Amino acid sequence: MEKLQGENRSFWKMTEHGVSYPKLAQDIEVDTAVIGGGISGILTAYFLAKRGKSVALLEARELVGGTTGGTTAKLSSQHELIYDKMIELGGVELAKQYYEANQTGLRLIEELITEHAIHCGFEEMDSYVFSQHGTNTQNLEKEAAAYEMIGIEGGMTDSVPLDFNVASALVMKDQAQIHPVKFLHGVLREIDQMGGRIYQHTKYMGTERNGEQLTLQTDTQFTVSCRQVVLATLFPAEDPHSFYSNTMKPVTSHLTAFASPQTFVKGVYISDDAPKRTFRGAQDGDRHVLIVGGETHPTGDAKSTIERYEAIRQFAKEEFGLTDMIGYWSEHELTTPDMRPYIGPIEEGDDQMYVMTGYNKWGMTAAAAGAQLIADLITGKPNRFEELFNPQRSLPEKNKEDSGQSNDAFKSLLQRAERLEKGQADQFKQNGKPIGIYKDLNSNVHYLDLHCTHLGCGVRWNDGDQTWDCPCHGSIFDGTGEVLAGPAKQPLKKVNPY
């Protein structure tokens, strides 16, 4: 397969410079430490600082560099077709509350943008789920009936305000979109001005409890002392009784950015057809861009990521005539059994450690509402969404999926390594154990134990992003085994293949 066109980097990171914050260089003491520099962590730190709490925000790598930096950045409560299912699971009132929570999050983001004059491409527009073939029109109609029961403004239509043919569509009125990196860089500036302490390249390693005081260990020689800690990482950095490991599944989606001769400012879109496609417009100065994504699958399913990017590129060419792909990237997320995130105490009765996770691919608005919820819980203020997002709520049953590792065979290990091009990987078994081979850009060969350092699942090679992905809990490692996304804290182990 030929090398993909464009840069393997999200459009949002390509079009906004990184921010400079230090690595933790001394022991500090604050009221609350927030772990994770995505939208959940940054907004939680902001709301706490706004209420006069001393806050430290710690990010293991680069701020806004994980899932938030790779999102489509739709500020929408239209999370595909979710409300009919929610009514079946929990009734109309629960579905209505979920809608209201996401609408609250949307308005919180809008208020922050207005209050602090953050230039981040915020645009109000309608949101659409569509079917091009009409085979899924009945699904859209069922969801439209759920809209009516809940009181959502929108409904069925047979057209969209683009030169794009659909058989049927479901519209939700008055949603929005933003540039997520520019938005959060603006929020970080406000946290800084309020006295919040912000650190990047500082990895959380664990917590020691001493009564009401917590001591957070990091990968530096320094610690953070606090009364509460909020784990706002993709997967919680702590997992009591393996609850989060047992109830969430990691998924990966793939996105692309195409230069376009025309602007796309008339809505945000996702299909209900198979394969699913999602798209929205964006701007890079005077350059018009279309973000196109899809191909969601269980993380680490061992199928070619390059082929998935190629399928998305073919869709953009056939439907919009776009061929200039300027970027491509993957987004990693976690799903929960009832389609609601876990936001609240990490376990029942714990008023010192909180989690924010499991956004089911729709985390922008829920994260904003969740950040306010966490701030309310810590400061003793009531919040009507506490039970909606409570991690200790009752959950429906779900089936466990096999995460086994396939075995490829070559006669000679040396021949196998020799055949690799720079940036390529392969895997084999040695004495029944999965071993990975990766040839870096300097032609150095790395041999890795392919057991994830979180809980030991077998990781699998992602050829499009050149990463080792864990199918069990979503840890991502670069080709040499270094951690790119948790819950794993340690790199893949090196092995001697001889």
Pairing of strands 268-271, 123-131: parallel
Cis before residue 497, ω within 30 degrees of 0? no
Q: Which residues of 121-131 are buried (b: 16+ CB within 10 A; e: fewer)?
A: bbbebbbbbbb
Q: Which two tokens stand for residue 322?
A: 């776009």
Average confidence (pLDDT) over 432-460 = 87
What would the pLDDT profile of 149-196 be if each residue is shown by its tens digit?
999 999 999 889 998 999 999 999 999 999 999 999 999 999 999 999
- CATH code for the part of the protein at 413-485: 2.102.10.10
Q: Which two tokens stand for residue 19?
A: 């921010």
Cα 169 to Cα 179: distance, rounded to the nearest angstrom: 26
Pairing of strands 223-226, 445-449: unpaired
| Furthest C-alpha separation in the chain | 66
What would the pLDDT profile of 335-375 be if each residue is shown by its tens digit?
999 999 999 999 999 999 999 999 999 999 999 999 999 99
CATH class of 19-70+181-246+339-389: alpha beta
CB 355 within 8 A of CB 235: no
Helix axes 83-90, 137-150, angle to 10 degrees: 60
Q: Residue 497's pLDDT is what?
A: 62
The string of DSSP letters for 169-238 reads EEEEEEEEE--HHHHHHHHHHHHHHTT-EEE-S--EEEEEEETTEEEEEESSS-EEEESEEEE-SSS-S-
- The position carrying tokens 């009401």 is 212
Three-state SS for 313-350 is HHHHHHHHCCCCEEEEEEEEEEECCCCCCEEEECCCCC
Cα 467 to Cα 302: distance, rounded to the nearest angstrom: 11
Q: Between residues 399 and 23, which one has the greater pLDDT?
A: 23
Q: Residue 414's pLDDT is what?
A: 61
Average confidence (pLDDT) over 220-226 = 98
Pairing of strands 74-75, 204-210: unpaired
Cα 214 to Cα 207: distance, rounded to the nearest angstrom: 6
Please say if the pLDDT value at position 402 is more than 60: no
What would the pLDDT profile of 97-134 be if each residue is shown by its tens digit?
999 999 999 999 999 999 999 999 999 999 999 999 88
Q: Residue 405's pLDDT is what?
A: 37
Predicted structure pTM score: 0.84
Query: What is the length of the chain?
Result: 498
Helix axes 180-193, 92-115, angle to 10 degrees: 70
**CA-to-CA dists, residue 72 to 109, 283, 361, angstroms:** 16, 13, 10
Q: Residue 430's pLDDT is what?
A: 65
Q: Residue 447's pLDDT is what?
A: 86
CA torsion 401-298-456-224 (nearest 10°) is: -130
Q: Between residues 347 and 2, which one has the greater pLDDT?
A: 347
Indicate the CATH number of 249-333 among 3.40.1350, 3.30.70, 3.60.21, 2.60.40. Answer: 3.30.70
Chain Cα centroid distance, residue 268: 18
Domain spans in the chain, listed from the N-terminal domain onward: 19-70+181-246+339-389, 249-333, 413-485
Cα 162 to Cα 269: distance, rounded to the nearest angstrom: 10
